[in-house]
Amino acid sequence: MKLIHRLEPLWWILFGAGGFTACFFLPALILGVLILTPLHVIAQGLVYWRAHELAAHPLGRIFLVSVLSLVLWHCAHHLRHFALDVFGHKAAPAAAFMSYGLALAGTITAFVLVSAL
């Protein structure tokens, strides 16, 4: 827990960077990939071969891992603080380890899945 406290500025800058990343890219990603494409509103853009080409491109890989990872770290930090607001001091270790643990798991998952493309 002491280490977590010593690294507070780091968690905060990840929160900030993740927040900006979410602002820049998340709405379009959700709209494009999860809503418009399944609904065939935009059909040709994400056909398999093109989607794979975009995602598997070196820049695409970096983009996907960075965006998803940063957004996850942002969410983790926010949820950790909200847990403190609601549950208090006694929840501090659980809130920190669970939230940052989840972000770490997500980052590793993103890395593994993108590598498998």
Partner 1 sequence: MSAHAASAPKTRTAPARAPAGFPMGFYRYRNYVLFAATSLFMMLGCAMLLDAIHALGQGEAAWLAFQARMARPYYLATSSVVLLFTLYFVIRFAWVGRKIAAGRIGPIPRPPVPMFVTGVAPIGGFLTLWLILLLILGGFLP
Partner 2 sequence: MELHKVKFEVLRFRPEQDQQPVFQTYEVECMEDWVVLDALNAIKDDIDPTLSHRWSCRMGVCGSCGMLVNGRPVLTCAAFVRDYEGTIRVEPLSNFPIVRDLVVELDGFVKKIQRVKPWIIRKLEKDLSEGEYRQSAEQLDEFKQFSMCINCALCYAACPVLANEPEFVGPAAIALAHRYNLDSRDEGNAERFPVLDSHDGVYACSFANECSQVCPKHVDPAMAIQQAKLTDFLEWAHILPKKSFT
**Residue type at 32 in one-letter notation:** G
| Rounded-to-integer distance, Cα 78 and Cα 92, Å | 13
Q: Which is nearer to partner 1, 28 or 94 (CB)?
A: 28
| Rounded-to-integer distance, Cα 19 and Cα 28, Å | 15
Shortest spacing between CB 23 and partner 2, in angstroms: 15
Counts for the chain of helices (H) and strands (E), in that order = 5, 0
**Residue type at 5 in one-letter notation:** H
Contacts of 18 (CB under 8 A, 6+ apart): 70, 71, 72, 73, 74, 75, 77
Q: Which is nearer to partner 2, 16 or 45 (CB)?
A: 16
Residue 104 makes contact with partner 1 by CB under 8 A: no
Residue 74 makes contact with partner 1 by CB under 8 A: yes
- Considering only residues 5 to 34 of the shown chain, the ones binding partner 1 according to CB under 8 A are 19-20, 22-34
- Tell me if 93 sits within 8 A of 1, measured CB to CB: yes
Name the site residues for partner 1 (rule: CB under 8 A).
19-20, 22-39, 42, 44-46, 48-52, 54-55, 64, 68, 71-72, 74-76, 78-79, 81-82, 85-86, 102, 106, 109-110, 113-114, 116-117
Name the site residues for partner 2 (rule: CB under 8 A).
4-5, 8-9, 11-13, 16, 78, 81-82, 84-89
